[in-house]
Amino acid sequence: MSVFVSLHEKGLPFRIDAIDLEAGANLQPPFTRTSATRRVPTLVHGDFSLSESSAISEYLEDVFPDSGLRLYPADPQQRARARQVQAWLRSDLLPIRVERSTEVVFYGATKSPLSAQAQAAVEKLYAAADMWLAHGTDGLCGEWCIADVDLALMLNRLRLHGDPMPQRLAEYARRQWARPSVQLWVNHARPPL
């Protein structure tokens, strides 16, 4: 999702080639020749390919600095904060990602109540998000950046399922979700579950 949003925010033309993960297409040639990590998304730019969402967004920012909007803040500390948030959301909070997968977000799937481990991860997520958003602006870094998309996705795993959430975080998640580039992804055609 964040790569799709990054490409739209940068105003860059692109094509999506769907990969059937359920059938293991990411483990078969020709995809394995394109993606050394065999992961999606994988960006192919000329003869260069790159996997991992945040690495792709950083690459797009570096290669196309004058296209569209900035994906990361210009201020080094704020840029570091955005990268920290992205890395943390992808490397921690596993119980939330397992118990509130993106099927909840994009297919409306409902799951059982959160386990004790997931509830502890939720409390950690809410405390961190509350601290980062304390300055009262619409974005993590004082203005929108691509890390806002990642944080909103994590929050929306819970909000869209109906799990309790502080009002301020729910409003932030709603605002980020309303962004036109995000709505393009939310409304993107998906195969049935």
- Summarised one tens digit per residue, pLDDT across range 162-181 is 999 999 999 999 999 999 99
| Cα separation, 19 vs 17, whole angstroms | 6
**Span 76-183 CATH architecture:** Up-down Bundle (1.20)
- For the chain, give the percent of residues with pLDDT over 90: 84
If one looks up domain 2-63 in CATH, what number appears? 3.40.30.10
Burial bucket for residue 23 (CB in 10 Å: 0-12, 13-18, 19+): exposed
Residue 187 contacts by C-beta under 8 Å, 6 or more apart in sequence? none
The alpha carbon dihedral of 15, 149, 59, 61 has a sign of: positive
Domain boundaries, the chain: 2-63, 76-183
Model-level pTM greater than 0.85?
yes
Q: Which tens digit of pLDDT belongs to each residue from 59-106?
A: 999 999 999 999 999 999 999 999 999 999 999 999 999 999 999 999
DSSP-assigned states of every residue in 21-39: TTTTGGGSTTHHHH-TT--
